[in-house]
């Protein structure tokens, strides 16, 4: 089970134990999560297809939305199939290197999602506060640069997680009470000091989520200041309506994320461990499942594009 490298014990594999104390409900949980996964993949891939093929959607707002859909689709695809193998086929073993790869991509994609939501908030700010300069500020080159910068930040701040894990001595077994490899879940199996891991985890959260939330809050503060100064009530409603899908995405993403983070780091024994794991799994699936639905319901152009995909123009006219 263990391979020895100098004075450090490194397990050859880990065992992902799923959700302890909910073994009897694993079948129902896997069925529910499988349905959510199918909806998430179809919804996000459909949204990417729609935005890439409809010229009317070739605008910065929709480019950012397609980037969010790509991130969501990859995040749930990385997580759900492995979880279903644990619940349905009892395939719980995962190689040490594969576990490190899991840690890297899980943290990278979740931080990427935060970054894209921040970019969408800045897009709303420019669209409402500088409508005449919108197309000159958010050019394709600018969108590519900020997208690359967001991805690079996620990669660079996630790499230390895997580096820290490889330098820990593991002597508390190889059983992980989770459905995927998480940085702190792995660190807690170590018999060495994990103070640096815990500190870096908090630093990374501040640098990623803290910075993104600050920028998002500042954007919406400036948006509200600009909108309340408008003389027309219709103009106020129109400007706010352009942000509703983004606000929905923020709520869907950050509420389970904050609950998962604070219960994991500060909940202690007040919240059962299996509840923490269930919420963590919900956090990985809820945003990818609901974001395409919210975008379709709240964005007229996407809603019309979806209708045209399934119905001909003659059918649309007959329905109206």
pLDDT averaged over the chain?
85
* 144-193 pLDDT per residue, tens: 999 999 999 999 999 999 999 988 888 888 899 889 998 888 888 888 88
pTM over 0.95: no
% of the chain beyond a pLDDT of 70: 88
pLDDT digits (tens, 9 = 90+) for 114-143: 999 999 999 999 988 898 899 999 999 999
- Name which residue leads in pLDDT, 207 or 241: 207
Rounded CA gap, 193 and 182, in Å? 17
Residue 231 has pLDDT above 70, yes or no: no
Residue 286 token pair: 């809820």
| Confidence at 7, pLDDT banded by 50, 70, 90 | very low
* Mean pLDDT, residues 186-212 taken together: 89
Q: What is the dihedral of CA 201, 98, 4, 184, to 10 degrees?
A: 20
Q: What is the pLDDT of residues 88-114, one digit of tens each?
A: 888 899 999 999 999 999 999 999 999
- Burial, 70: exposed, middle or buried (Cβ in 10 Å; 0-12, 13-18, 19+)? middle
Q: What is the mean pLDDT of residues 45-73?
A: 92
User: Tokens 């329905």 identify what position?
Assistant: 319
pLDDT over 90 at 300, yes or no: no
Report strand pairing: 13-16 vs 8-11.
Answer: unpaired
CB 137 within 8 A of CB 230: no
Rounded CA separation 190/177 (Å): 14
DSSP 8-class letter at 170: B
Q: How far apart are CA 31 and CA 116, in angstroms?
A: 30
Percent of the chain exceeding pLDDT 90 equals 46
The answer, yes or no, to whether residue 317 has pLDDT greater than 80, is no
pLDDT value of position 255: 83
């Amino acid at each position: 089970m263990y391979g020895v490298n100098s004075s450090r014990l490194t397990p050859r594999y880990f065992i992902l134990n799923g959700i302890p104390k909910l073994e009897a409900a694993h079948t129902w949980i896997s069925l529910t999560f499988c349905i959510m996964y199918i909806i998430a993949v179809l919804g996000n891939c459909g949204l990417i297809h729609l935005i890439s093929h409809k010229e009317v959607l070739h605008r910065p707002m929709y480019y950012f939305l397609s980037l969010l859909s790509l991130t969501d689709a990859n995040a749930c695809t990385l997580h759900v199939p492995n979880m279903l193998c644990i619940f349905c086929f009892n395939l719980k073993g995962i190689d040490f290197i594969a576990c490190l790869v899991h840690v890297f991509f899980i943290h990278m994609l979740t931080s990427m999602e935060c970054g894209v939501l921040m970019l969408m908030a800045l897009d709303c700010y420019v669209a409402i506060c500088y409508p005449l300069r919108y197309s000159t500020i958010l050019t394709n080159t600018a969108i590519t640069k900020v997208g690359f910068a967001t991805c690079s930040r996620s990669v660079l701040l996630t790499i230390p997680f895997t580096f820290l894990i490889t330098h820990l001595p593991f002597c508390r077994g190889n059983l992980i009470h989770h459905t995927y490899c998480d940085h702190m879940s792995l660190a807690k199996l170590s018999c060495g000091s994990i103070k640096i891991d815990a500190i870096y985890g908090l630093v990374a959260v501040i640098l990623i989520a803290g910075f993104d939330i600050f920028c998002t809050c500042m954007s919406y503060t400036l948006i509200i200041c600009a909108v309340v100064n408008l003389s027309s009530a219709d103009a106020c409603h129109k400007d706010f309506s352009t942000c509703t899908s983004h606000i929905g995405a923020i709520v869907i993403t950050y509420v389970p994320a904050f609950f998962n983070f604070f219960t994991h780091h500060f909940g202690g024994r007040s919240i059962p461990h299996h509840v923490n794991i269930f919420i963590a799994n919900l956090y990985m699936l809820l945003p990818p499942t609901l974001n395409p639905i919210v975008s379709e319901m709240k964005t007229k152009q996407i809603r019309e594009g979806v209708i045209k995909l399934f119905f001909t123009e003659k059918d649309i006219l007959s329905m109206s």
